[in-house]
Amino acid sequence: MGRYRIEFGKESGARFLSHLELMKAFERALRRAGLPMAFSEGFNPRPKMSFASAVAVGVTSAREYLDLELREELEADQVLEKLRNTLPPGLSVVSCRKIPPKVPALMAEIEAAEYEARLKLTDKLTKAEIDDAIAKLLERDSIVVVKEGKKGPENKELKEGIYELRCTAVEEGWAHLLMRVKSGSRGNIRPEEVLKALQELALLSFEPELAVIHRTGLFVNRKGQLVSPMQ
């Protein structure tokens, strides 16, 4: 038995994969690689594989994580090498390390996520004007957006979950933003929700459908510090 943590990227065309499709793509890549997957018991055996978090359809990501169990113990480098050759275009493994059996599930550990967003502005705005709009948004006591919940529309408070939000550049009508938000099973803020708040509450106008969102990192909390799950 071996347990592994893998860091991977989801770019270009693969960004359109849903979470389920992503899981399936990995399972198939593992089988093509001839890696001895461990399976769950029961009527519908699944490979023992768990992902850190689901990234939305259309969003690219430089750093995603998954934990994997194998029936045999291989070197981490071997796992990495084999997977490199069998992943479909758009998915790429960055690194892999062995983890001890007692490390808690990835999903339970994730605390925050970082994103870059590019917005096609509908008005001619300068960086200063955007900085201003963001500052006004963050100064509010409450940042509430409406999201589609299971039982119809729900209000969602974002205020506590936005750790960082700033404009890094404005270029040819596109604004570049960086945001760090709460993520994981103890509360999750989606980048689209922050953008919605910018549009509705800060009155920043851009074409929401054309927003390009890229996840640059996922973090776990180690003694009060946000660090990569690979550490």
Partner 1 sequence: MRQLIEQQILPRVTKPIRYQGNEFNSVHKDWGKAQVRMAFAFPDLYEVGMSHLGLQILYGLVNDREDLLLERVFAPWTDMEDLLRRHNLPLFSLESYRPLRDFDILGFTLQYEMSFTNILNMLDLAGIPLRAAERSDSFPLVVGGGPCAYNPEPLADFFDFFVIGDAEEVLLEIMDTAKAFKQGPSGRIAKGDFLAEISRVRGIYVPKFYEVSYNASGGIEKIEPVNPRVPAKVVKRVVKDLNTAYFPTKPIVPFADTVHDRVMLEVLRGCTRTCRFCQAGMIYRPVRERDQETLLKQAKELVRNTGHEEISLTSLSTADYSCVQPLITSLMEEFKNEMVGISLPSLRVDAFSVDLAKEIQKVRKTGLTFAPEAGTQRLRDVINKGVTEENLMEAVAGAFAAGWTTIKLYFMIGLPTETKEDVAGIAELAYKVLKKGKEILKEQKSKKSLKVTVSVSSFVPKSHTPFQWVAQDPVVMLQEKQQYLKSLLKDRHITYNYHDARLSFLEAVFAKGDRKLGQVLETAWAKGCKFDSWSEYFKYETWLEAFRECGIDPEFYAYRRPGFEETFPWEHLHTGVSKKYLFEEYQKALQAELTKDCRLDRCPGCGVCGDLNVKLLLQRRGKGGAL
Residues lying near partner 1 in the complex (CB under 8 A)? 12-14, 16-18, 20-21, 24-25, 27-32, 34, 36-37, 39, 43-45, 47, 57-58, 71, 86, 88-90, 209-210, 212
Query: 29 or 198: whose CB is closer to partner 1?
Result: 29
* Residue given tokens 């769950």 in the structure block: 40
71 vs 159, beta carbon nearer partner 1: 71
For the CB of residue 109, give the shortest distance to partner 1 in the complex, in Å: 28
Give backbone dihedrals phi and psi of 137, rounded to 5 degrees, phi first: -65, -45
* β partners of residue 12: none
CB of 59 to partner 1, least distance (A): 10
Tokens, residue 100? 């001890």
CB 13, CB 91: distance < 8 Å: no
Q: How far is the CB of 226 from partner 1 (least distance, A)?
A: 30
Answer whether 31's CB lies under 8 Å from 114's CB.
Answer: no
Q: How far is 72 from 36, CA to CA, in rounded Å?
A: 6
C-alpha–C-alpha distance, residues 96 and 88, integer Å: 18
Question: Residue 63 is inside which H or E element, if any?
Answer: strand 60-70
Question: At its nearest, how many Å lie between partner 1 and the CB of residue 213?
Answer: 10
What backbone phi and psi angles, to 5 degrees, belong to 115? -135, 150
Give the residue with the Cβ less far from partner 1, 62 or 83: 83
| Shorter beta-carbon distance to partner 1: residue 58 or 187 | 58
Distance CA 203, CA 25 (A): 40
**Nearer Cβ to partner 1 (41/141):** 41
Q: Which residue has the tokens 């390009």?
A: 212
Instruction: For partner 1, give the closer residue by CB, 39 or 136.
Output: 39
CB of 35 to partner 1, least distance (A): 10
Nearest approach, Cβ of residue 196 and partner 1 (Å) = 16
